[in-house]
Chain A
Amino acid sequence: MVFWLTVLALTAAAILIGFRPMLRAAGAGTPDRVEDHEHDIAVYRHQLEELAGEEARGAISPVEATQARNEISRRILAVEDRLKAGGTASGSTSAPRSGVATLSLFALVFVPGLALVVYTGIGSPGYEAQPLAMRLEAMRDATAARNQTQDQLRDLVVRAEDHLRDNPDDGRGWDVLAPVYFRLGEVGKSETAYRNAIRLLGESPQRLSGLGEAMVTAAGGIVTADASALFDRALDANPSNARARFFAGLADVQIGQYADARSGWTALAADEGADMAWRTVAQQSLARLDETAPEIDTSGRPPVLDEATIEQMQDMSADERGSVIEGMVASLDERLRAEPDDLEGWKRLIRARIVLDQDDGLRDALERVRNAYEGRPEQLESLRVFAEGLGVNVEDYWP
């Protein structure tokens, strides 16, 4: 609202400044032609003065000076002639009334109308500015608020844990506690609680996808094969489970099937029956996917990690990060087993094995790629050169 008022004020101010002269009654009529010619005369007069100075200094000969003077004088007379002619001609012009109408049309309709129409077409009116300092503050406030609720949750958890210590077979208790653990960031306990709940109460889409989410988080954002199976089971039972749908999409992204991920997330984001939180997450992930993934679905791109995962990874210890990378490498390895005809993918795998110093993995990868490209010396040669660039002589591995 404040924004639109400001827009209105800006528009009004600009129009007022821009069209102010039309309010002056004296502005009506035809242009004053007399004034126009005074400047001309001043210029010619100046030319005459300069000529006199030059003649005095001897910069121009008297004969030439006289000639020049004649030329200038003729121009001055011409101006006067024009002045007379113009003075009579200017009387017969169109009525000033039409001018006012056109001007009002411009000032009151055309300018504000077109500006607003164009702006609403291309702008993002509701979107507040996001200065970094303000955003950081908001994030701090949010953290503080979260800490407060977490304290309350912790009290609850302590009581619930007491209860479950006495009644370990209370499936309802585990079922309630599992998502609370997850919110408190105790992913391991959450996983256990979900497993207990499933054991005692049986599988449900909610529990399966919750367990999956906990496992993904524990793996640093990687949808492992186990977790992926859980989401699939959850979707079998209830195809509209939003959490499972989101993670199924993430799994697709991580193995490079962008088209599947995109269609899945698009459907989720558009599904009005689904949980709003998950729809938002899907929407944001889609946007990021569009930013980072290629238009055409090419395999062989690095897995996309969403921002949350990357943030988490930054908080992890080196060991934990290592396991995430290992997870990624493993999934790449797996994918190449299924689709071996992907030279770029192989190169990435080989580089990863070299960087991680996994000699066995490297040997395995090189053997498989040699089989995959048997009879295609060009590709093998390009691999050889690539490996050489990383300091590895493939002949050592290809006996």
Chain B
Amino acid sequence: MTRKQKRFAVIFSALAVLGGAVALVLTGLSEQVTFFRTPTDIVSTANASENDGRLRLGGLVVMGSVETLDDAAVRFAIEDANHAVTVRYAGILPDLFREGQGIVAEGMLQPDGTFRADTVLAKHDETYMPREVADALKEQGVWKGEAAGDASASSEY
């Protein structure tokens, strides 16, 4: 191989790998991401296809709505200022899952309008409000945020 061919081979293989990676990233970002929705988003969407695929549903757990089903799954409702959506989750709820607390459930919306979650996130911090939930509730004017939040209470890992 001449020097030119060598260089060509190296550049070509590099471009091939990069091209492949770019293709993966682009399809990955269009198909494999999870959109965040509030109960109001879900109830009031005119176009049902917007709620296809994996979703993150965020809001406050409705008081008194949590019940354990016979097959050890849990059913509860997530609400925001206007609407509530029933969630079914098979698994162990996070330690800080409580009624009235802001949480995020990840899963798929079922045809009957209930939500089937495979992951439930509630953070390991008493004062925690998932960022998306806080933002959504703020927009709806429900939640004012922790005015006297103590910055020194932060911790890691």
Residue ranges of A at the interface with B (Cβ–Cβ < 8 Å): 292-296, 298, 385, 388-389
CB–CB B64/A295 < 8 A:
no
The closest CB in chain A to the CB of B146 belongs to A294
Interface of A is mostly: loop
- How far, in whole Å, are A296 and B147 apart by their CA atoms in the complex? 9
Q: When each residue 124-151 of chain B gets 1 if its CB lies under 8 Å from chain A and 0 otherwise, what string results?
A: 0000000000000000000000011000
Residues of B near A295 (CB, < 8 A) are 147-148
CB–CB B100/A389 < 8 A:
yes
Whether a CB of chain A sits under 8 angstroms from the CB of B63 is: yes
> Which 10 A-B residue pairings sit nearest by Cβ, starting from the closest?
A389-B63, A294-B148, A294-B147, A389-B64, A295-B147, A388-B63, A295-B148, A388-B64, A296-B147, A385-B63
Q: Shortest distance in angstroms between B64's beta carbon and chain A's nearest beta carbon?
A: 6
B64, B100, B147, B148 pick with most chain A CB within 10 angstroms: B148
- How far, in whole Å, are A296 and B145 apart by their CA atoms in the complex? 14
A292, A388, A389 pick with most chain B CB within 10 angstroms: A389
Residues of B near A296 (CB, < 8 A) are 147
Contacts A295-B147, A388-B64 known; 13 new A-B pairs at CB < 8 A: A292-B148, A293-B148, A294-B147, A294-B148, A295-B148, A296-B147, A298-B147, A385-B63, A388-B63, A389-B63, A389-B64, A389-B99, A389-B100
List 15 A-B residue pairs with CB atoms under 8 Å apart, sorted by A's residue number: A292-B148, A293-B148, A294-B147, A294-B148, A295-B147, A295-B148, A296-B147, A298-B147, A385-B63, A388-B63, A388-B64, A389-B63, A389-B64, A389-B99, A389-B100
The closest CB in chain A to the CB of B150 belongs to A291
Q: Shortest distance in angstroms between A225's beta carbon and chain B's nearest beta carbon?
A: 29
Residues of B near A388 (CB, < 8 A) are 63-64
- How far, in whole Å, are A385 and B100 apart by their CA atoms in the complex? 12
Query: What is the number of residues of chain B that contact chain A, defined by CB distance less than 8 Å?
Result: 6
Residues of A near B99 (CB, < 8 A) are 389
The closest CB in chain A to the CB of B99 belongs to A389
Q: Shortest distance in angstroms between B61's beta carbon and chain A's nearest beta carbon?
A: 11
Q: Shortest distance in angstroms between B65's beta carbon and chain A's nearest beta carbon?
A: 10
The closest CB in chain B to the CB of A391 belongs to B64
The closest CB in chain B to the CB of A293 belongs to B148
- How far, in whole Å, are A389 and B64 apart by their CA atoms in the complex? 7
The closest CB in chain A to the CB of B148 belongs to A294
Q: Shortest distance in angstroms between A290's beta carbon and chain B's nearest beta carbon?
A: 10
The closest CB in chain A to the CB of B64 belongs to A389
Q: When each residue 35-79 of chain B gets 1 if its CB lies under 8 Å from chain A and 0 otherwise, what string results?
A: 000000000000000000000000000011000000000000000
Q: Shortest distance in angstroms between B76's beta carbon and chain A's nearest beta carbon?
A: 14
- How far, in whole Å, are A139 and B148 apart by their CA atoms in the complex? 32
- How far, in whole Å, are A381 and B157 apart by their CA atoms in the complex? 40
Q: Shortest distance in angstroms between B13's beta carbon and chain A's nearest beta carbon?
A: 21
Residues of A near B64 (CB, < 8 A) are 388-389
Residues of B near A294 (CB, < 8 A) are 147-148
- How far, in whole Å, are A293 and B147 apart by their CA atoms in the complex? 10
Q: Shortest distance in angstroms between A122's beta carbon and chain B's nearest beta carbon?
A: 16
Residues of B near A385 (CB, < 8 A) are 63
The closest CB in chain A to the CB of B144 belongs to A298
Q: Shortest distance in angstroms between B123's beta carbon and chain A's nearest beta carbon?
A: 22
Q: Shortest distance in angstroms between A379's beta carbon and chain B's nearest beta carbon?
A: 13
- How far, in whole Å, are A61 and B100 apart by their CA atoms in the complex? 73
The closest CB in chain B to the CB of A386 belongs to B63
- How far, in whole Å, are A295 and B147 apart by their CA atoms in the complex? 8
- How far, in whole Å, are A160 and B68 apart by their CA atoms in the complex? 70
Residues of A near B100 (CB, < 8 A) are 389
Q: Shortest distance in angstroms between A108's beta carbon and chain B's nearest beta carbon?
A: 37
- How far, in whole Å, are A294 and B148 apart by their CA atoms in the complex? 6
Residues of A near B148 (CB, < 8 A) are 292-295
- How far, in whole Å, are A247 and B63 apart by their CA atoms in the complex? 40
Q: Shortest distance in angstroms between B102's beta carbon and chain A's nearest beta carbon?
A: 16
Q: Shortest distance in angstroms between A252's beta carbon and chain B's nearest beta carbon?
A: 18
Tell me the residues in window 98-119 of chain B with beta carbons closer than 8 Å to chain A beta carbons: 99-100
Q: Shortest distance in angstroms between A138's beta carbon and chain B's nearest beta carbon?
A: 26
